Amino acid sequence: MPRLIAAALLAAACAVPPAPAPAPAFRNARAPIWSAAALDPARLAGTWRQAAAFAAPGAAPCQRASVAFGPQGTHVTGTICGADGPRAVASRVATVGPGRFSVAGEAAPWWVLWLDADARTLVIGTPDGRFGAVFDRGAIPADRLAAARAVLDWNGYDLSRLVILR
């Protein structure tokens, strides 16, 4: 009888698929992180080309990702490059704090870490560090990419894991 119970427990344990591994974190969780407190969500409206992303080793290659924010930043659609490669996003967006947004279907809120004065370059990150990205309205110039990198660095991101997208 004990053998039957043990066999039944073993069979049941084998039938449960393992939980997926959590996405890797690309920032030091003890480092301070801030969001753009004076951000007007309407400045996000329009199309943004993803210029850089944090990628896990062996992640699917990613190119030509872009997203479009609706008026007042109320929704986002497109493709983003994340830790595991490209993925579609088509979600409602709700403001949850200054420069902080809840994006339906995303594991953590997106924080706007930086938006340049002319709304041409956008840096988004998550407090848990599992997502971080640089977006631009066109081809990002070297000076704004350097500024975006500095913002990510200041917010505790590991820049050695940042991949520039072409």
- Give the pLDDT of residue 126: 97
With respect to residue 34, please indicate whether it lies within any of the assigned structural domains: yes
**Spatial distance between the Cα atoms of 9 and 15, rounded to a whole number of angstroms:** 10
With respect to residue 114, please indicate whether it lies within any of the assigned structural domains: yes
With respect to residue 125, please indicate whether it lies within any of the assigned structural domains: yes
Phi and psi, residue 77, nearest 5°: -135, 155
- Give the pLDDT of residue 106: 93
β-sheet bridge partners, residue 27? 157
With respect to residue 158, please indicate whether it lies within any of the assigned structural domains: yes
Provide the residue range defining the domain that includes 157: 9-16+22-164
> Which CATH number belongs to the domain containing residue 32 in this structure?
2.40.128.20
| Total domains in the fold of the chain | 1
Q: For every one of its 166 residues, what pLDDT tens digit does the chain have, with 9 covering 90 and above?
A: 556 555 444 454 555 555 455 668 999 999 999 999 999 999 999 999 999 999 888 888 888 899 999 998 889 999 999 998 899 999 999 999 999 999 999 999 999 999 999 999 999 999 999 999 999 999 999 999 999 999 999 999 999 999 999 7
With respect to residue 2, please indicate whether it lies within any of the assigned structural domains: no
**Spatial distance between the Cα atoms of 136 and 130, rounded to a whole number of angstroms:** 20
With respect to residue 4, please indicate whether it lies within any of the assigned structural domains: no
With respect to residue 3, please indicate whether it lies within any of the assigned structural domains: no
pTM (predicted TM-score): 0.85
Containing H/E element for 30?
Answer: none
